[in-house]
Each structure stands twice: as C-alpha cells, then as structure tokens.
Structure 1
C-alpha cells in the first residue's frame, strides 16, 4: 500500500506538471474562443433586440390604425377629409385611404400628387390584399411595396371600420420604411465597429456601406414580417487584448508550476505519511484488532482524525463485547426454552391423550382435545423457531438451486401429510435460481401453511414454478444475476393470510404474532430477501391468498447440485 500510494503521488505530480506545460497554447486558444463567443453572444443579443424593437414598432402602428378605425368619425364617410388629415398629422403614415365596404376608394389624403389622388379615388381596390383582408375583419400588415415615382419601400397597414351591422369600410395607411419610421431603433446601434442590415421580401431595406476585414455576424427574424436583421461587429479590436493575454498566461503558468512543486513536496513530507498511518489503522480494524490506535500530528485537522479514529476503535471494541455477551445470553435462553418447551409439552400432550382415552365426560374429552391441539401448535411454533435459527445461521453464500426439484419434493410431502387437500402442481423439468440453500425451508413453509390453515370444505392448493428471461449461460459466473427470474406461486382457497402478518412483512417490522404461520412468514421473508429475491402476497379469486416468491435465475449446475443441502435441513427431534 505504501509503495502504491507514493508511486501514485509522484505520478500525479509529474502528470500535472506535464499537463500544465502542455496547456499554454490550448488555454490561450480556449480563452480566445471564449472571448469570441462572448462577442458572438453580445452580437446575437443586439440582433435579437433590433428585431424585437422593429416588431414592437410594427405592432404599435398596427394597433394605432386599428384604434383610429374604431372611432365613430371613421364611419362618417361624408366627413372623411378632416378625419384622414387628423390621422396623418398624429402619425408617421405619409398617406391614408378610406375604402367603402364594396371596395371603392372613398377618399385619399397625404403626401401624394393630385393626379395620383384623382386616379385612386373611386377606383375598386377590393382585390388588393390589404383591402380584402380588412373587409374580412382583420387588421393587416402588407408585404414590402414600392411607392409610385418615389422608388422607396413602403409598408401598408389596413384595419376594418365596423358598425353594428358588420364591416362598414377599411382604413388604409402607408408608411415609408426608413430610420424615421419603422427603423428608428437602428441609428444608435450603428457605430464605427458595428453595422445593421435588414432584408425583407428579397429586398434590402436598410444597409450600411461600412465593411470589416473580419467580422462577427448574427441574424434574427422579425416575427410579424419575417424580415431578417443582420448585425455585424468588427473583430479586429480583439487582437490587442488577446496578445496581452498570451503574455499573462505564460507568467501565470510558471507561477502555477512552481507552486505545484512546492505543494507536492509539502504534501509528501506531511500528509502522505499521516495518510499511510491512518490507512494501516483501518486495516487493523478491518481485521478485528479493535485495540489498535493511531497518533497523527501536523495540524488540528489531523489531530481530530486521530481522536476520531481512536474513539471509533473504542466504540467498536465496546460494541463487539456487548454483542458477544448478548449472543451468549440469547443462546443460553434459547437452549433453555427449547429444552423446557419440548419436555414440558411432551408431558402436557401425554396427559391430554390419557384424559381423552380415559375420561367419560364429553366436556372433559373436548377440553383435553383442545389442550392437545394447542400443545401441538406450541410445539410447531418451537420447531419453526429452530428452523429460523438454523436458517439464519446457515451458509450465507448463494448458489444455484433447482427450485422445480424443491417444489416437487414439497408437493409429494404435502400429498402424503394432507390427504384431504387437493394439491396440484405446474412444474418445469428444472428451474435454477440463485439462492441460499435454506430456500428449501421457505418453499416448504409456504406450501405447508397453505394446507395446514385451509378451512375450506374442499381445500385446494396450487403450486406453480415458472422461469422468465433469457436462458443463462452455463459457463458464466453463478453470482451473475442478470439471466432472468424464477417465480414460485402458491395459491390456496383458505381464509387467507392475516392482514397484520402481511402488513408486518410489507413494512419490514415485527408485530405480535398469534400463531406459527406468522413466524413462518418471517422465516420465508428473511430467506428470500437474503437470496436476493422478493416476497409478495395477492388475493385469490374467489377466496384465499397467493404467495409469490421471485428469485434471480441462475445457470444450471449439474452433479450433486440436486441433492438436498445439509444446511437446509433442521433436526426436528424432540
């Protein structure tokens, strides 16, 4: 251990030094990427901000024209002139139209020529998208258009004019796309190191003539129109910053290497030796030497670990002594109780038999029979206690067990011992499970309880064994439990397992047990649980219970594996 720990320590120091030496270039490039990524992130945020501001501006004008169209004055077509002039004076629209419900232009005002105005008034615009959509009740924003003779991009807004009967007409407003209207958020963002370009419907709506040798670019989309906003930043400004960073990185690396060398020497001189002593102490504790102590120096922390270790050793020493004494007391108590119960109950049973044979009074005979049954129950409880003790003290190693063979033996014994019970079985030729050898007791106990406590007029017990999952490889490690499951189901039509016994098993806590079946359930639970399996209960239909045992499936083991393991048998002699 000492050689390994020291070797690891030296190797780690060498590796750290080599890694630090080799990361100068990588660290610089990584930081460059981080700086560029940060610039990219800021550019992305700017592009998104511009797109959001443009979208908000469009929605603002859209809501504006919808609000104006909802006013009562909008429905007064005979006074459309003052209405449209007031609308244009209080907005950024350069022209506005009033269109009747039939699509005819009623009035046209704004920065347009008289000829254009005359040609538009009275014309049918019902098939233009902005009129058609508004007549359907929508507030509409058109694609990019171009104003006549101005060669400037225009955005047209339209909103329905409603009255009590429906759409009365349409209010239409046209707005130039420039930095005084929709793109008013762009000027503060265009600097000597940043430009903004907007493209919509295949047309460049805003462009900056400035270009950069190397730039960082990001694009975002205006949600309401689909326009693409592209922000470009000059990347050459990062060069000086990165050059200064390179010199600083080299200096920091030299300092780090020197610090690591000094730290490594100090750790080796102080901490490593202390660690070795502490590990040696734990090794001795693991071997059962609870009288072992350690003495660590070099700081308050090491002294606390030393005191903690010594306290742990003392606690384990006292605990081991207490457990040993308690085990001795329990063994003596167990032997005395077992001996007395067997001997005294033999006397009770003999006298009960004698009274049954000799007494003439039927009441006395009935009482004697009750005493005899109760005595046999107590004797059975004592036997189950012995089984539980032997099972818990048996070989704790799991091994392949042919559960089908165990179940077949149990079925044969049940049919012989309980001839009045109809016992049926559905068993494969073999079903190997990874379990404790004492799993035989668990299977026998569950089957016996199903017969013994069955009070049905036609008692029946069904036993089934099934194997699920892939067939395990014969050559694999028997401890490998990934080959499926083996299930044992024991169903009866008796009174069912008492609810208090079920609850005790499900909750994992002991309760007052009224008869041997409860103690047997604990035996079954502990054996199955220590075998890596599960035990659960279900209600049978229409009456009774189903006990289900699931065990890990194992690869078959031939030879003497089918022979009963001695540790699974219990000496039942009185």
Structure 2
C-alpha cells in the first residue's frame, strides 16, 4: 500500500474516532458551560447583594450623622436639617420621637396624606417595632425590616439612630428615616441582572412576620438556573435566574460548528501533506504545549526543540522567556499581595479615622462648652496624626521592599534597637525598660529591617495597658544567627492580628490595627529572617531571628 494511501486511511480513521470523541466531549463541555454559567450567576448575585448591603450601610451612616448633628435648640433649624436630609438622600420621610416613643416631629409626609401625627407612638403606627426602638435607645443605629404603609400600597425600609445628649452619655431623642422601595436607588445594582436572558427578584419578611415580594422579577423562564444570596443588613433574599433554554440551544449550535470545523481542519491537513511535514509539526506541538504550560502558570517548564538550528534557537529563546516570566510573575504576585494589604489597611483606618474627624468637626460649631470644643479639637489632631503615621509606615514599607530588590547589607541591629528604646523612653517615661545585648549585633539583612524591629518595640510601649508597664529587650547570638527578643507585661498581640500575618492577606472581615505588623513581618521576611510570637496569655512576646555577619571578638552582654 502506498504511503500516501496509508496516511489517508489513518486520517479517515482519526476523523471517525475524533468525531465520536467530539460528540461525547461536546456533552461534557455543555455541562461544564452550564456549571460555569451557574458560578458566574452565583458571583453576580453575591456581588449585587453586597452592593445593596453597602448602599443600605451608606444610608445608615447618613441617619447616624443626622442624629449626631441634630439641632437641640431651634425647631426651625431642626426642620431645615431634616428637610435637607430628604432632599439630598433617598429618604422619603423622617420623624423625630422622644425616648417614650412619642412622635415630636414629622417631615416629608403631608398631614392630609398620612394616618399618623404628632403625639402618636412611633412603634404603634408602624415605623419601628418595639425591639428595634429599644435597641436604638441603647445607643445603636438600627436598620428595621421592611414594612408596608397601606395608604401608599408600597413597602418601606426604616433606619433609626439615637440623638445623644451633649455629653454623649444619654439618649434624648430618636431620628427615624423611611424610604419607599419602589422609588429608591437601593436596587440599582440589580440592573445588570435584568436582561432578556436574566431576571431578579427580592423577597423578605416584614417586622409583622409576613413573607412578601419586595421587588418582583421582570421575566419568567420555563427552564432556568437559579442563584440566591442574602442581603445581611435586612435579611432579604435576592433570587437571580438565567434562561437555561437559550444557553442550551447556543451550546448545541457551537458543538455542531466544532465538529464541522474539525472535519475541515483534518481535510486541509491531508491536502497539505501533513506526513511530509511531521517533523516541523511535531516541534510546533511541543511549542504549543509550552505555551499551554505558560497559560496555566507553569513558568518552570523547559522546552527542548530539535530537527533544525532555527528550532534550537526558538527553544532557547522560549526557555529564556519563561525564566524572565517566572521572575516577573513572582514579583507581581508579591506586589499584589502587598498592595492588597496596604489598600485594605489604609482604607479601613482612613475611613474610621476620617469618620471620627468629620463627626467632631461637624459638632464643634454647636458646642457651647470651651472644654468640650478643646476635647473635640484634640481628638481631631490625634486622628490626623495617626493618619500621618500610617502614611509614614507605608512609605517605610515601600522603602524596605525597594531595598530588598538590591539584596542584603550589613546592619548593626544593636545600635538600631538602642536608638529605638531611647526614643520610646522619652515618649513613655512611665515604662520600666530593660535592655541586654551582645557586643556584636551585626546582621546580614535588607536596609530598613530596623524599621520592622522598631515597630515591635513601639508596639510593646504603646499597647501596654498594665498598671506597671515593663518592656524587656535582648539582642543575643544563637550560633550564626542574631536573635532580638521583645517582651512586655501587656496584653500581647491579639489572635486575629496573628492570623492575618499567617495567611499573608487581609480579608473583608479581618483587619490588622495598622500596617506596623506588616512592616515588621515583610522587613524580616525579606531579610531571610523569622518572626515568632509567644503565648498571648503570658503577655507580649516577639522574637526576631536574623542571619548574623561573621562575629568579632566580644566579651558578652551588658545592661542598659
């Protein structure tokens, strides 16, 4: 049999086998595509629910700020403040009630349109239930479950916040904002879910216990993929659906195209003389395998190409490229982790501190007591300095990471520790300090590792809440290593702070108190060192192990 004929028969056989495989794999692909669509729908649903939660939280902040700045002396000023609240935000009405629950002020609803009035009980007319009202009197801002006003044939969401006395100790009144959900922008995150092939609805429970549909779906499908997510602020359930029938039809069409394309490709390869070029195609397949490995993130893949000098050159160039990509990928991943941590920590602290600054800045004009104004100003200065300190630590962290790219250098860690202790003694004279060190504390580390050690020492001073605070620092040789130990009789590093470092990331539910520990962790890590914490029940304990330089002659330690 001629070789060409044999080759043709082989390709025909391959076509039949591959045809069978394509049919089977097409069904598998269909199932995988449906699972992928389900996963995408789940992610979209969770994201939309989270965005609605965030929008409700924003409105909760608005009511909290309104309660904080509510004028106590002038009814006209108070009315102007609440009318401005209604004009600038999604609230359709607002009321003020005393601590007995009696309504003392109404804004937004016309008296001839409502079934409630001044002197009615806020819990009896349906704005809040008794449990929520009592929790607001306890000093917290509360989001009420959805309720309905029969006269408007609509659902409403109510948010209440306490109005504290000038000394911040007692609740004097309650501010309650109510928004009608058919006209609010809370559900704008659901817009991407409302298409010809998608739909969404929101259901929930009123505080009377009735199950209701708050936002109905625009479409209905015979067969659909369904995903649900809970809006945690209110307990509502967001249900999203995807038309499965349209997806199935499209996948079947793609499967037919796939099979036809396979036949065309095989026939084309036959006409070009695939067998004569088997060596070249073999090298191409190896090269494609190499690119697939790169796509999957395997940058250690080594490609060996033969048959011609050009292929050898391509193989060498590919391997050189993978080496560069592997190095670059590691740098990118490390930078992304670092930026993620810095973003979360700085955003968390910035939001909290700026909220405090804004709150005090807004109430200062209303304060008559000079001492209160001074206390508020001092608090603003304190938070502002804290933000500056966060920025300083962030810049130090960037300096350490930049220095790490240039390698390690010799650092006299004893001198750095001594300088840090001297500075903290000045700022915290009440702390009893003990310091022992080796005469030779030179370490092979990145320039800036002292920033991390200084942070551990600073934490021992700043966060020591003991009545008789004590800090003990030792620098000693352990074989070829230098060990810096910082101990105090304070509460130690909280468990959640340690967990953040162990996982090397910050989640949306866990935040380190600042970037100080990250500065210590990364500066020591980049110096090929180790950072360990002791048992929190025994007080603060942090040990840093760094690689020492060649030791010189020394006679032991000394006290300082």
Shared fold by TM > 0.5?
A: no
TM-score by length of 2: 0.41
